[in-house]
Structure 1
Amino acid sequence: MALTQQLARVLPRYLEQCRAAAMSSPDGDPQWDPPSDDTLDLDWAIWELLWFYRRMQPDADQIHVLQRAIHGDPDGNVDFLDHPEVYDGFDAPPAVLRPPAVSQVARDLATIELAPLFERLPAYREVGGFSGFIGDPRQYLVDHFILLQDFYSTASEREMAVVTWID
């Protein structure tokens, strides 16, 4: 079973509908089903970027931005999403970034340049800990980082919240 980083863009009123569904359901099912166009599976790419930053530039501001983008804010209060129909329960329950925080993260992500990080990496690195991936991961990481930037940019433009979880 592979663990991957998941994100969903949702309107705040959708979260309230899910909260109401969970409260009225005998088993607490929030009826979570965001549109597939508003979900993103980042696989393990951002975790690897965080690993590189912590190892190569441990004081980098990008560490906090990337962590917030995938972990949400601690005061998100989406406990009603702590349900097997939402995620597999392997890691922490889903967390959320509300629209103002999403806008801040989108602005912060837009300022990140990966080139300085990659300049410090060896020319070839076999990714350790992620079976099945052989070779230099740069393009894979860049592609997924761009997906993350675009995802947050769109969420910000549409004044949406972002829910994060590992599945």
Structure 2
Amino acid sequence: MRRLRRPTQLLDPAAVTELARALEAVDLDAVLVNLPTTTADAAAACGFGRGFDGDVRGYLVEHFRAMREFYAEAARRRHCVIVWTD
């Protein structure tokens, strides 16, 4: 599968605040309710590929919470954020 590269973007403080609010509103349990129960199936559904052998749900929850906290703090400080996709 070929990945699409997107240009780097600068999110101004207003956009960071909007994103922080949107992330805070996400009901993560509702999002993950249909995550497959087996590690291999869950990893495949998330695009992790072969070889992922951890707790997929735990991984997603940990990283989502970290992202939510990052954007909440950036919004509180009125920071800009640069985003890109590798």
| Root mean square deviation, CA, Å | 2.1
Which structure would you say has the larger RCO, counting Cα contacts within 8 Å and 6 or more residues apart? 2
Distance 2:6 2:22 in 1: 24
Distance 1:136 1:143 in 2: 10
Show the 5 A alignment for 1:65-144: 91-126=5-40, 127-128=43-44, 129-130=47-48, 131-144=50-63
Structure 1 counterpart of 2:73: 154
Distance 2:26 2:32 in 1: 12
Q: Report how far residue 123 of structure 1 moved.
A: 1.9
Distance 1:91 1:109 in 2: 23
Gaps of 5+ in 1: 4-89
Q: Report how far residue 124 of structure 1 moved.
A: 1.7
8 Å CA contact retained: 1:123, 1:136: no
Q: Report how far residue 135 of structure 1 moved.
A: 5.0
Pick the structure with more helix per residue.
2
Structure 2 counterpart of 1:163: 82
Which deviates more from structure 2 when the two are superposed, residues 126-135 or residues 106-115? 126-135
Q: TM-score by structure 1 length?
A: 0.42
8 Å CA contact retained: 1:106, 1:152: yes
Please give the secondary structure, in 2, of the residue aligned with 1:134: coil
Gaps of 5+ in 2: none
Aligned identity (percent) is 38
Q: TM-score by structure 2 length?
A: 0.77
8 Å CA contact retained: 1:124, 1:136: no
